[in-house]
């Protein structure tokens, strides 16, 4: 079959670098799906993306769809033939309608009824008919942020400047936002020009002649080899931050690596200040020696060739110099202000309109961390350090450096605290109280930092829920999900035995005492607990637990995390274990029936009517202590094993006892027995939530 090469290119004003990887993936995926859907076989799909274009090259594309035959279904046979066995009007009409004669009709049975059919030949459609629909692929790409321009009504990532759509040498005609497809593309903004694409297969090469490296991966490699070469020539170590590399790759069409220099005096600034200036603000790669010490050089990537690269390097040096000069000035100014002066200024800094100032928040965090420290029975020294950390945890927010480089909050707090002679543990804890800054960030190392971190996050989560700022969908402006997850991660990491439900209630009371609360107390408690349970489920999913297991262990109180996970893992094991079948059946039966008990009443042994009741009661009394011990020691296996002696008596009980007895007193007593056992079981997990496997 004849095949062709097809190229589509969309030329744009510079796209945001952060959306480009995803755009390219969508383009590839949607093209593959589209070609499947229109039934055009092809050899290969290649995608390209630069800031000013995305493109897809399809090689070996079949010229037309394969022809097809299709059976068209007509009326039922009993309608299609008259009494004499001749074709009826209905049959004749059907065959005509399909462009056939009655001679072409044949009969086939469908679900027990006979129908008449004709076979239809469908000629495959051609590229000419099919390819202009690629327009819909272009329009179907999803971008997180779209814009309008000029008089256009459509929204797109950036204004569309040109469209190339070629089938070998022929233009595939369509139009988007007033731009018609053609064969003219554009090269590098300054080094290239407009040019005609001679053939789709020549696209990449022709672009290269116009100083555009069309494949992101090739640009990345060019940057990496430039960096490697400098490392070799200059004896430098240049750690490559992958996010930065991707961003830089997507900011240029023809990358050339260069280096610049700054005064060694600036090396006295905190390392984080230097790297933030270089990486975040200027998109440079910092340079180190082989002892991992920063050197007074930086690596930049230019969108162009080696030509006049000195001018570019000098220009970049000048910009960085101005930034570092500013930083130096801020650093010196900040050291003139005592921590106490800064704390005073927090009284003027808003945290959240309804939740007051940062100073108000600090007061609450002091109280919450005291509460946590007491529950964890930390040492007096630690409690002292926790109090100091909480007090000064936010002082750096009003320093010049953090005002200018917000991402350095906590980090500058630590530096300045050290310089002002604070306890090194306190200084470290100031930095740590922001951790984890994202899902995969480090967690606080010190107990002091961990306590203040939990307190600070709890204050935010509980406070926001209290005043009705509840995350929904993609709306989570205070990052409450991340903060709740952070709290759980810390508790898990430190293996702390904290009863979250209890703490949440305490914290909410603190807000209530301070007169802050718009939502009802009970409603808030329920919402916050549910919120933390959702986050917990997330962590447990990460620990590879099934969702039914997660639901089962979350039915117990929200407390020690690692224990919940341990319980979950054990249950997951048991779910697959045929030997556990008898046990789970016994327990589930108890749990299901116990629901019928109206209230918890004491068990009255004198009302027992048979020995199985008495035996079950005895084993209940016997397992209680070892079970509790297993729970206190956070030993899931021990706790569950302790319950096993109940299994046999439960089965015997049900075999010989009619729980729903007619005599209400006896019925209630039997339910009470089951309820007491159920309460025990529920402290472990709600086993009715587990989807037990049917073992043969």
Binding range to another protein, per CB under 8 A, among 37-45, 312-320, 595-603, 659-667? 312-320
Identity of the residue, 394 or 535, whose beta carbon is nearer to another protein in the bound complex: 394
Alpha carbon distance, N-terminus to C-terminus of the chain: 55
Instruction: Report in angstroms the alpha-carbon separations of 218 from 208, 255, 342, 633.
Output: 11, 10, 50, 57
CA 441 from chain centre, in angstroms, equals 14
Among 102, 141, 319, 652, binds another protein (CB under 8 A): 319
The answer to whether 344 contacts another protein (rule: CB under 8 A) is no
Question: 3-class SS at 115?
Answer: strand
For strands 179-182 and 160-167, give the pairing. Answer: parallel
Residue carrying structure tokens 């650093």: 331
Residue carrying structure tokens 């327009």: 135
CA separation for the pair 71, 120 (Å, rounded): 6
The answer to whether 593 contacts another protein (rule: CB under 8 A) is no
Each residue 18-57 as x (binds another protein by CB under 8 A) or -, in order, gives: x--------------------------------x------
Identity of the residue, 150 or 291, whose beta carbon is nearer to another protein in the bound complex: 150
Identity of the residue, 314 or 629, whose beta carbon is nearer to another protein in the bound complex: 314
Per CB under 8 A, contacts with another protein among 152-171 are: 152, 159, 161
CA torsion angle for 590, 596, 598, 600 (degrees, to 10)? 0
Residue carrying structure tokens 């917990």: 536
Per CB under 8 A, contacts with another protein among 251-270 are: 251-252
The answer to whether 304 contacts another protein (rule: CB under 8 A) is yes
Q: Where are the alpha helices (DSSP H) in 75-133?
A: 77-80, 89-97, 127-130
The answer to whether 621 contacts another protein (rule: CB under 8 A) is no
Among 318, 512, 604, 693, binds another protein (CB under 8 A): 318
Residues with Cβ within 8 Å of residue 234, at least 6 apart in sequence: 259, 297
The closest of 73, 48, 200 to 131, measured between CA atoms, is 200
Binding range to another protein, per CB under 8 A, among 309-317, 371-379, 632-640, 675-683? 309-317
Binding range to another protein, per CB under 8 A, among 201-209, 300-308, 428-436, 681-689? 300-308
Per CB under 8 A, contacts with another protein among 473-492 are: none
The closest of 39, 37, 46 to 6, measured between CA atoms, is 46
Binding range to another protein, per CB under 8 A, among 73-81, 131-139, 343-351, 522-530? 343-351
Identity of the residue, 258 or 692, whose beta carbon is nearer to another protein in the bound complex: 258
CA separation for the pair 573, 571 (Å, rounded): 5
CA separation for the pair 125, 107 (Å, rounded): 29
Tokens of 173: 């005609």
Instruction: Report in angstroms the alpha-carbon separations of 679 from 409, 583, 590, 619, 626.
Output: 47, 16, 10, 15, 15
The enclosing H or E element of 175 equals: strand 175-176
The upper half-sphere exposure of residue 531, i.e. CA atoms within 13 Å in the direction of its Cβ, equals 26
Identity of the residue, 250 or 460, whose beta carbon is nearer to another protein in the bound complex: 250
Question: 3-class SS at 197?
Answer: coil
Question: 3-class SS at 57?
Answer: strand
Among 312, 362, 550, 631, binds another protein (CB under 8 A): 312
CA separation for the pair 301, 323 (Å, rounded): 19
Among 189, 271, 589, 667, binds another protein (CB under 8 A): 189
The answer to whether 659 contacts another protein (rule: CB under 8 A) is no
The answer to whether 149 contacts another protein (rule: CB under 8 A) is yes
Inter-axis angle of helices 447-466 and 500-513, to 10 degrees? 60
Per CB under 8 A, contacts with another protein among 532-551 are: none
Identity of the residue, 152 or 445, whose beta carbon is nearer to another protein in the bound complex: 152
The answer to whether 311 contacts another protein (rule: CB under 8 A) is yes
The answer to whether 363 contacts another protein (rule: CB under 8 A) is no
The answer to whether 463 contacts another protein (rule: CB under 8 A) is no
Among 82, 136, 209, 307, binds another protein (CB under 8 A): 307
Identity of the residue, 258 or 521, whose beta carbon is nearer to another protein in the bound complex: 258
Identity of the residue, 82 or 347, whose beta carbon is nearer to another protein in the bound complex: 347
Tokens of 268: 């006295």
Among 103, 109, 217, 353, binds another protein (CB under 8 A): 353
The answer to whether 180 contacts another protein (rule: CB under 8 A) is no
The answer to whether 243 contacts another protein (rule: CB under 8 A) is no
- What number of chain residues touch another protein (CB under 8 A)? 46
Binding range to another protein, per CB under 8 A, among 325-333, 424-432, 477-485, 652-660? 325-333
The answer to whether 357 contacts another protein (rule: CB under 8 A) is yes
Q: Where are the alpha helices (DSSP H) in 440-554?
A: 447-466, 480-494, 500-513, 521-542, 547-554
What are the residues binding another protein (CB under 8 A)? 13-18, 51, 145, 147-152, 159, 161, 189-191, 251-252, 282, 300, 302-304, 307-308, 311-312, 314-316, 318-322, 325-326, 329, 348-350, 353, 357
């Amino acid at each position: 079959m004849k095949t062709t090469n097809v190229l589509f290119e969309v030329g744009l004003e510079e796209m945001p670098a952060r959306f480009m990887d995803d755009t390219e993936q969508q383009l590839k995926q949607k093209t593959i799906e589209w070609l499947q859907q229109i039934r055009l076989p092809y050899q290969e799909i290649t995608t390209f993306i630069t800031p000013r274009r995305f493109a897809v090259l399809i090689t070996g594309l079949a010229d037309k769809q394969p022809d097809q035959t299709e059976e068209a279904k007509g009326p039922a046979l009993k309608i299609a033939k008259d009494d004499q066995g001749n074709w009826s009007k209905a049959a004749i009409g059907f065959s005509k309608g399909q462009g056939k004669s009655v001679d072409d009709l044949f009969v086939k049975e469908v679900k027990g009824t006979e129908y008449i059919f004709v076979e239809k030949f469908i000629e495959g459609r051609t590229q000419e008919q099919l390819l202009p629909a690629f327009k819909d692929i272009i329009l179907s790409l999803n971008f997180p942020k779209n814009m309008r321009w000029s008089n256009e009504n459509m929204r797109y990532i950036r204004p569309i400047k040109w469209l190339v759509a070629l089938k070998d040498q022929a233009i595939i005609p369509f139009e988007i936002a007033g731009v018609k497809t053609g064969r003219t593309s554009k090269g590098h903004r300054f080094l290239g020009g407009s040019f005609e694409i001679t053939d789709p297969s020549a696209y990449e090469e022709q672009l290269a002649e116009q100083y555009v490296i069309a494949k992101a991966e090739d640009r990345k490699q060019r940057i990496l080899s430039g960096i490697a070469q400098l490392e070799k020539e200059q004896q430098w170590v240049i750690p490559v931050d992958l996010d930065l590399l991707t961003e830089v790759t997507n900011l240029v069409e023809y990358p050339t690596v260069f280096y610049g220099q700054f005064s060694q005096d600036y090396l006295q600034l905190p390392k984080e200040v230097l790297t933030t200036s270089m990486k975040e603000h200027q998109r440079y790669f910092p340079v180190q020696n082989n002892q991992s010490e920063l050197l007074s050089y930086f690596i930049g990537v230019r969108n162009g060739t080696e030509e006049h690269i000195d001018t570019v390097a000098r220009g970049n040096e000048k910009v960085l110099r101005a930034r570092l000069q500013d930083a130096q000035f801020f650093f010196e100014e900040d050291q003139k202000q005592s921590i106490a002066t800064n704390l005073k200024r927090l009284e003027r800094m808003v945290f959240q309109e309804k939740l007051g100032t940062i100073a108000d928040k600090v007061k609450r965090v002091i109280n919450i961390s005291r509460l946590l420290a007491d529950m964890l029975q930390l040492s007096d020294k630690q409690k002292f350090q926790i109090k100091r950390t909480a007090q000064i945890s936010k002082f750096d927010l009003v320093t010049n450096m953090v005002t200018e480089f917000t991402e350095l909050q906590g980090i500058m707090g630590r530096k300045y605290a050290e310089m002002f002679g604070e306890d090194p543990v306190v200084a470290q804890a100031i930095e740590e109280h922001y951790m984890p800054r994202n899902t995969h960030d480090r967690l606080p190392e010190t107990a002091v930092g961990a306590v203040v971190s939990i307190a600070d996050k709890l204050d935010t989560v509980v406070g926001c829920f209290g005043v009705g700022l509840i995350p929904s969908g993609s709306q989570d402006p205070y990052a409450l999900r991340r903060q709740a997850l952070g709290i759980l991660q810390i508790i898990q990491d430190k293996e702390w035995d904290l009863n979250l439900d209890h703490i949440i209630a305490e914290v909410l009371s603190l807000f209530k005492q301070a007169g802050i609360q718009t939502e009802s107390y009970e409603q808030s408690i329920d919402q916050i607990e549910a919120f933390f349970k959702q986050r917990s489920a997330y962590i447990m999913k990460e620990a590879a637990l099934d969702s039914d297991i997660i639901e089962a262990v979350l039915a117990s109180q929200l407390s020690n995390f690692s224990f919940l996970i341990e319980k979950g893992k054990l249950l997951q094991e048991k779910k697959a274990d045929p030997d556990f079948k008898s046990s789970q059946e016994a327990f589930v039966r108890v749990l299901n029936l116990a629901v019928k008990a109206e209230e918890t009443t004491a068990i009255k042994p004198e009302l027992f009517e048979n020995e199985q009741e008495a035996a079950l009661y005895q084993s209940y009394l016997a397992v209680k202590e070892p079970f509790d011990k297993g729970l206190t020691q956070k030993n899931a296996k021990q706790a569950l094993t302790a319950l096993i002696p109940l299994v046999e008596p439960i089965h015997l009980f049900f075999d010989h006892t009619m729980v729903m007895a007619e005599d209400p007193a006896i019925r209630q007593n039997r339910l009470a027995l089951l309820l007491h056992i159920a309460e025990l079981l529920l402290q472990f997990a709600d086993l009715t939530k587990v989807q037990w496997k049917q073992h043969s």
